[in-house]
Chain A
Amino acid sequence: MSTTDILLWGVLPYVTLAVLIGGTVWRYRYDQFGWTTRSSQLYESRLLRIGSPLFHFGILVVIVGHVIGLVVPESWTSAAGLSEGAYHVQAIALGTVAGLCTLVGIGILIYRRRTTGPVFMATTRNDKAMYAVLLAALVAGLATTLAGSGAVGEQHNYRETVSPWFRSLFVLRPDIEAMAEAPFSFHLHTLIGLLLFALWPFTRLVHAFTAPVGYLLRPYVLYRSRTAAPARTPRRGWEGRPGDYPESTTGAGAPYSGTPEGGPRWPRNRSRH
């Protein structure tokens, strides 16, 4: 077990997890207004209507596949009478189809983004970085599926290396040795995946965390009382962001509580800026 292995498979996952959770909580609190799909359907609909469902439904199947492959121990499927060979056949079939759908979908979306003027103009640097990592993760993942199953090169049973390591992370006793034994392609895919998770809270991918499943259960028409409206710290044009001034009584998130007796709150220390 080398130092590199410890860093990569024993430390990095926890750093990523901390960034993912911390970043998401922070953004949820700080940036509700920026938390959106930032859809570009208004600009272009024809290609989007092919590419977007292909990508999204594909990736949902891919996620389910990951959960099954990583979370369910091999002993369980064997006990259920599924041989390793049979498991791999269904995994490769499902995984390749879903992976290809996803890849074709994102291909169409990237092509659309690059060639449709308004869509390209609405693409930020943040988006571009996210697309690069997402695409890399997809390609590496698909390659791993093909490689691991023995379709290309030597077969590798990741359910004896990657999966135990993944599960061990959550009981805080990372099985670094198991992971270190996995072939390079698995290492690469895992690392790109970790990078994607670390970027996640800071990109438009956050929209996935607010998938509107509650819609299935709620009443159609919603009423809200004015008084129940979410309170917000008011900011004047001449004021900085909430919390810029130590004297400020209303920090970010604190409910606004009526008229301060002294009238408008001025920055006390303007020259600081």
Chain B
Amino acid sequence: MRVMGQIAMVMNLDKCIGCHTCSVTCKQAWTNRSGTEYVWFNNVETRPGQGYPRRYQDQEQWRGGWVRTRRGRLKLRAGGRIRKLLGIFANPVMPTIDDYYEPWTYDYEQLTSAPLGDDFPVARPKSLISGEEMSVEWGANWDDNLGGGPDNAELDPMVQRLRQEADDKVRFAFEQAYMFYLPRICEHCLNPSCVASCPSGAMYKRAEDGIVLVDQDRCRGWRQCVTGCPYKKVYFNHRTGKAEKCTMCYPRVEVGLPTVCSETCVGRLRYLGLVLYDADRVGEAASAEDEKDLYEAQLDLFLDPSDPEVVSAARRDGIPEDWLEAARRSPVYALAKRHRVALPLHPEFRTMPMVWYIPPLSPVVDALSGTGHDGEDAGNLFGAIDTLRIPVEYLAELFTAGDPEPVRRVLRKLSAMRSYMRAVNLGEQPDEAVAAKAGMTGGEVTELYRLLGVAKYEERYVIPSAHEADGRRLEESMCSLDFEDGPGMYASGPFGEASGQPMPVSVETFHALRERQSSSGIADPGQRGARVNLLNWDGKGRPDGLFPPTASGHGSAEKPGETS
């Protein structure tokens, strides 16, 4: 047993309202730069739908992830090492910009500078790739809320697979249509095929917290990671010629702050926590013979942080005490392993993804209530699970490689929880038999309810911070994204705009940010790097570092940074 830690996420899809706040805040924080216009580290897809990039789940086309060879070994679906190297001159399966969308802006100046006339001036769309005028035909969320109707939804690879198996399960007639939202970030897989695809070894999984990163200095732009990732969550920055991906907001996570997408989630549907897993068995688990066993195999990798044997092994492997404590309080471990209500996205890609989903139940309650039944009565609910508007089979294609049983178990637990807790809320005697039918006890139901219904910030995000001794250095040690004077600016080295040394990733210091968020005093980060971020400055007092010091003292009276 080799114990390693992994920062993992759970998303409760019942709560997602598809507001895209996570996508927008993530974009503002990380990819608000030229070269990354089309890059969405976080996106929210409407299911059924094609996803982003279009039909990324169809691995017959995109060749991402792993396959099991006849001898039971794992191989990259896009080919072995030699095949990969032969393909570096022109990657045979790489999405082009059209598979994402051509990013654009509008010619806003036209609105004010157009000559006086009878017609309203129009801001025409201009391509951010070619600078030409363009007609907008696709976007990151073109089929949002089933936009485009059956024509787009029919192209969903999961729908097509279901069609072959059970024709009547999928309906797009208006009264029968269904949808739900699926927010996606990088899965930070235990067996990452992007890392395995990178010829120059620039991609790596961090040993401490399992976050998968691209070393911007060592990336040479061979583009194999884009193909390797079956979730298409590694993007190619077309200005710098380097790969970029979701960083799990590591500068924030290192100081104990949740990721931007979690922090800003309106529905509070995201959970962040540490799980311990046995790194020695990852390969074995990922090469399970039957795809449908992959979910269980993945779950088996998780180690119980309360088990004394695991604890002593973890200590031996250098996992600090506060991390063990965080693992014990981890909401991710509780939801995925203890209650078994969270499922991985597409385990059949064999990458062992570490962002887990609680499948949606809501429409069934509404549907039942609509027909005059008691939507929260356990008997009705259990019976209705198989006639769900969102077919269990569809959810199974997403979360359990097509095996409907685990999905059914989860939905049964969720409905039992509703029924049981309603009795509690109405002051009735809750029926233990309802909980038992879903394989739980009343205590477990209550615990699950607390976690899903009332968990506060500190319970949803249990993030052990990196150790202070490292923390200071780490904070600025790695550069995932390049900054010069802030987001969107590039250094102007001698070899074009992308050359030279990149700026450290933390434009503001994240320690200072946490300080500000968690203290009532004024923002006065007296430590190193105390540049005051004016966006975070609360206007009280005059923090050190607001103005540069001068020879004559503290420089408070001087004008800051006079230019020459």
Contacts and interface: CB of A to CB of B under 8 A. Distances in A.
B82 interface: yes
A3 to B, nearest CB: 34
Nearest to A31: B499
B213 to A, nearest CB: 8
Given A210-B200, A238-B548, A42 B97 contact: yes
Contact of B96 (A42, A51, A207, A227): A42
Contact of A212 (B85, B90, B529): B85
A39 B221 contact: yes
A107 interface: no
Given A43-B238, A207-B221, A263-B544, A229 B478 contact: yes
A116 to B, nearest CB: 9
Interface stretch (A80-88, A117-125, A145-153): A117-125
B545 A263 contact: yes
B529 A215 contact: no
B452 to A, nearest CB: 32
B205 A49 contact: no
Interface stretch (B124-132, B168-176, B322-330, B341-349): B124-132
A207 B501 contact: no
Interface stretch (B289-297, B428-436, B490-498): B490-498
A90 interface: no
B113 interface: no
B498 A33 contact: yes
A234 B204 CA distance: 22
Contacts of A224: 204-207
A122 B131 CA distance: 11
Interface in B189-208: 191-192, 195-196, 198-201, 203-208
Given A38-B241, A231-B477, A232-B504, A222 B130 contact: no
Contact of A234 (B96, B496, B504): B504
Nearest to B545: A264
B96 A232 contact: no
Contact of B238 (A122, A212, A227): A122
Interface of A is mostly: loop
B238 A53 contact: no
A158 B503 CA distance: 51
B489 to A, nearest CB: 9
Given A202-B495, A226-B474, A33 B221 contact: no
A229 B495 contact: no
B399 interface: no
B472 interface: yes
A70 to B, nearest CB: 25
A52 interface: yes
A33 B89 CA distance: 20
Nearest to A225: B207
Interface in A93-140: 117-118, 121-122, 124, 126
A180 to B, nearest CB: 36
Interface residues of B, number: 83
Contact of A36 (B242, B474, B478): B242
B477 A34 contact: no
A53 B500 contact: no
Interface stretch (B138-146, B148-156, B255-263, B479-487): B479-487
A263 B509 CA distance: 13
Contacts of B439: none
A268 to B, nearest CB: 8
Contact of A222 (B203, B470, B493): B203
A44 interface: yes
A36 B223 CA distance: 11
Interface in A29-59: 30-45, 48-49, 51-53, 55-57
B222 A212 contact: yes
Interface in A185-233: 202-203, 207, 210, 212-216, 218, 220-227, 229-232
A182 to B, nearest CB: 33
B502 interface: yes
B226 to A, nearest CB: 9
Interface string B197-236: 0111101111111000001111111110000000000001
A2 interface: no
Interface stretch (A5-13, A71-79, A164-172, A254-262): A254-262
Contact of A33 (B130, B195, B482): B482
A212 B202 CA distance: 11
A51 B105 CA distance: 32
B201 A218 contact: yes
B553 interface: no
Contact of A45 (B96, B207, B482, B531): B96
B220 A118 contact: no
A174 B224 CA distance: 44
Residue in A55, A235, A271 with the greatest tally of chain B CB atoms within 10 Å: A235
Interface centre among A35, A43, A44 (most CB of B within 10 A): A35
Interface in B548-564: 548-549, 561-562, 564
B499 A34 contact: yes
B200 A212 contact: yes
A270 B238 CA distance: 36
Nearest to A220: B196
A224 B211 CA distance: 10
Nearest to A53: B89
A232 B503 CA distance: 9
Nearest to A221: B195
Given A39-B223, A42-B236, A230-B478, A222 B195 contact: yes
B502 A33 contact: yes
B208 A226 contact: yes
Contact of A57 (B81, B89, B478, B503): B89
Nearest to A231: B477
Contacts of B528: 259-260, 263-264
A173 interface: no
B529 A236 contact: yes
A59 to B, nearest CB: 10
Contacts of A43: 96-97, 129, 238
5 contacts: A41-B91, A42-B236, A225-B206, A230-B217, A232-B479
Closest 3 CB pairs of A and B: A34-B499, A212-B199, A220-B196
Given A117-B132, A126-B495, 9 more contacts: A33-B240, A33-B482, A35-B217, A43-B96, A44-B96, A45-B96, A56-B89, A259-B472, A270-B564
